[in-house]
Amino acid sequence: MSGAEEQMQQLRSKATELLLREEWRDSIQLYSELIDLCQSQISNTHQHSDPDHLSKLHKSLCVAFSNRAEARSKLQHFTQALNDCDQALQIEATHFKTLICKGKILLCLNRYFNALDCFKAALFDPQGNGNLDIVNGYLEKCKKLEFQSRTGSFDLSDWVLNGFRGKPLELAEYIGPVKVNRSEISGRGLFATKNIDTGTLVLVTKAIAIERGILGGQDSAENAQLVMWKNFIDKVKEAVTRCQRTQLLIDMLSTGENEAGLEVPDMSIFRPEIEENGCSNDQKLDMDKILSILDVNSLVEEAVSAKVLGKNSDFYGVGLWILVSFINHSCNPNARRLHVGDYVIVHASRDVKAGEEITFMYFDALSPLEKRVEMSLSWGFNCRCSRCKFEEAVCSKQELREIEIGLEKGVDVGGAVYRLEEGMKRWAVRGKGKGYLRASFWAAYAEVYGSDRSMKRWGRRIPAMETVVDSVVEVMGSDERLLKVVVEGLKKSGGVVEFERAMKLGRGFYGKVIKKQALRTLLEIGINDKGY
């Protein structure tokens, strides 16, 4: 055995040992040395025309590339890992281990159709005869995710019915009938390209990075949030460093400045099937820019997210979802987001017309105008949505402000609601205007409808709960607090009409990805003798 062959054998043995011990970085280093040595030997062997020796060298090189790809994929260095897979497959086009590795990487990158091709090709390699069950498992998974990605046919029902136990479902990336365009609200926004019904899926997208934790008391909570924010920044930095496409996507997000001058990207760039050709991360990482981008575009998981994840009320999470970052705030939103694992599901919370901008709430919009103004300023903008403009005009009326002050001082909520309803008659407020003002004072309405005593006194002098809920939903979409009042009313009075109203509201809040039985479980609506 020559000195080079002995050196190759030692490198191969040590690198394989490190791979089995999951010491990924060290194994990558040794496999890189082995690859260099193999390539050098192949170059020299060509001169001596030794076919058998050359074949063995090519086989060793193929396995080395394949194993280095596996180690790199474990570190989520997917671009480099895919390159190694392609190098191995140039040597042996149906190399079973490489095809499985490449397929798994493409699955992680949400490139389901390409992954499907890899697993199909693996079936033709004789080495895979003993692993047909594994390959078929990956094939079924690919087909399911590819179908979800193409059609938007998601179903979380089984997971919901199981009480959210176990790992969150693995979801596909999905982009519905939307596109990015210039927004009258702020900079760029996401717009519907066709009519979208309540509960219909708009998009499903995975976080670039996410950090979660449980917050303690007020003082420790602030420190915990700071630590989490630092960890989150580090995760984003790592994601940008290891993936060219991630750097490209994050770089196109707003820093909060020069919104009018930002490019409107084509939707194709957000689709996971895009190749990384043309992407380059040779440019120096601009951490100041990244910090500005994160400050403007990061999302905090909502209370309902914690509920779905099975966490307690102190649960806190912060993450970055690229396409969701283009969705602007409105105090009369038409979309909702639901967090499942590292994915965000966005669906229409009310009917959306083609050409209408997709919006959701950055803060609690079931609040009076003055409080919403304070919250929007804390976010660094002044909301100018149609609801805010309408209420600014109406709020010049002193009586409306007096109602708000009275509620803050603890006056009878029934009387306040009655006064507001009578005021709207005098001010000739109609249509959506009623929904806007009822949304602003929803807490008072909910308290009245939830109290038998208040309803006994004021019930005949104020609109029925269903009328008020419908008017608020028309301008706000579905909301958990609206749902709660409707469900409580259903439990008291029952009725098919009330049940259907609750189901419709539930679809607006949770989306159509959940079937009726699971939705009924979420809303804690039992099945009575009437069968609903």
User: What is the reported pLDDT for 76?
Assistant: 87
Res 345: pLDDT? 92
pTM (predicted TM-score): 0.86
Q: For residue 164, is it within any domain?
A: no
Q: What pLDDT does 525 receive?
A: 59
DSSP letter for each residue of 132-184? HHHHHHHHHHHHHHHHHHHH-----HHHHHTTT-SSPPP---EE-SEEEEE-S
Q: Print the domain residue range for 485.
A: 369-527
Task: Confirm whether 160 is domain-assigned.
Answer: no
Measured between alpha carbons, how far is 159 from 304 in angstroms, rounded to an integer? 16
Residue 299 inside a domain? The answer is yes
Would you call 339 helix, strand, or coil by DSSP? strand
Q: Are 374 and 361 in contact (CB under 8 A)?
A: no
Same domain assignment for residues 9 and 146: yes
What is the per-residue pLDDT for 129?
66
Among the candidates 327, 360, 393, a domain finishes at 360
Q: Round to whole Å and give the CA distance between 433 and 445.
A: 16
pLDDT of residue 69: 96
Instruction: Judge if 343 and 407 occupy the same domain.
Output: no
Q: Which of 360, 389, 408 is a domain's end point? A: 360
- 191 & 340 share domain: yes
Q: What is the pLDDT of residue 63?
A: 94
Indicate whether 224 and 334 sit together in one domain. Answer: yes
Q: Does the residue 425 lie in any domain?
A: yes
What's the pLDDT score for residue 317? 85
CATH number at residue 203: 2.170.270.10
Shared domain check, 405 and 337 = no
CATH for 41: 1.25.40.10
3-state secondary structure 274-290: CCCCCCCCCCCCCHHHH
Q: Given this model, what pLDDT does residue 433 score? A: 95
CB atoms within 10 A of CB 173: 21
Q: Are residues 53 and 126 in the same domain?
A: yes
Which among 151, 179, 207 is the end of a domain? 151
CA separation for the pair 238, 151 (Å, rounded): 32
Tally of domains in the chain: 3
Block means of pLDDT (10 residues each) for the chain, 532 residues, are 79 92 94 91 70 86 95 91 95 92 92 92 75 88 92 83 71 94 92 96 94 73 84 93 87 86 90 57 74 91 53 73 95 91 91 96 90 89 91 82 88 93 92 95 94 92 94 92 87 78 87 83 55 32
Residues facing 205 on adjacent strands? 344
Does residue 159 form part of some domain?
Answer: no
If asked whether residues 496 and 519 sit together in one domain, one would say: yes
The count of residues in the chain is 532
256 falls within a domain: yes
Same domain for 219 and 139: no
Contact of 43 with 34, CB cutoff 8 Å: no
Tell me what pLDDT residue 419 has. 93
Do 180 and 144 reside in the same domain of the chain? Answer: no
What is the C-alpha separation between 419 and 416, in angstroms, rounded? Answer: 5
Q: Is residue 305 part of a domain?
A: yes
Based on the fold, state whether residues 59 and 103 are members of the same structural domain: yes
Q: In this structure, are 513 and 377 located in the same domain? A: yes
SS (H, E, C) 26-60: HHHHHHHHHHHHHHHHHHHHHHHCCHHHHHHHHHH
157 lies in some domain? no
Residue whose token pair is 């990924």: 24
The token pair at 410 is 């603890």
User: Same domain for 404 and 488?
Assistant: yes
